[in-house]
Amino acid sequence: MITEIIQYKLKEGADEAQFLLEAEKYYAYFKATFKGFIDLEFNKGENGWVNIMHWESMEAVRACGEVLRSGPQEIAGYAALADRASTQLTFLEQVRNFQG
């Protein structure tokens, strides 16, 4: 499993309530479009936003990246509110998972 961590800020003047509505569309698009997509968390901290996404494989992440480069209209509202210049990506491969 791959964990993708996306850290970013909203653009100056962006409406947070609108952003959260767009986040729902973003999730629905990923769920319907990308094979290998598992789940998504939107988290807010003192330094901005952190999305945590889980994928079945790095190949699934790469396939998603290819589609996103074309700027899909379905997530244009989300993209218009997130500050792309502030975005930092981290990819982690799960080595072991301890539960319960």
Identify the structural domains of the chain with CATH numbers, from first to last.
2-93 (3.30.70.100)
Task: Report which of 39, 28, 19 is spatially closest to residue 82, judged by C-alpha positions.
Answer: 19
Q: Is the pLDDT of residue 99 over 90?
A: no
Confidence at residue 37, expressed as pLDDT on a 0 to 100 scale:
97
Q: Is the pLDDT of residue 100 over 90?
A: no
What H or E segment, with its residue span, contains residue 44?
strand 37-45
Confidence at residue 20, expressed as pLDDT on a 0 to 100 scale:
95
45 touches 29 (CB < 8 A): no
Q: Note if the pTM is more than 0.75.
A: yes
Confidence at residue 21, expressed as pLDDT on a 0 to 100 scale:
95
Tell me the HSE value of 71 on the side-chain side, using a 13 A CA sphere.
5
pLDDT digits (tens, 9 = 90+) for 45-81: 999 999 999 999 999 999 999 999 898 899 999 999 9
> Could you tell me the two tokens for 50?
């952190």
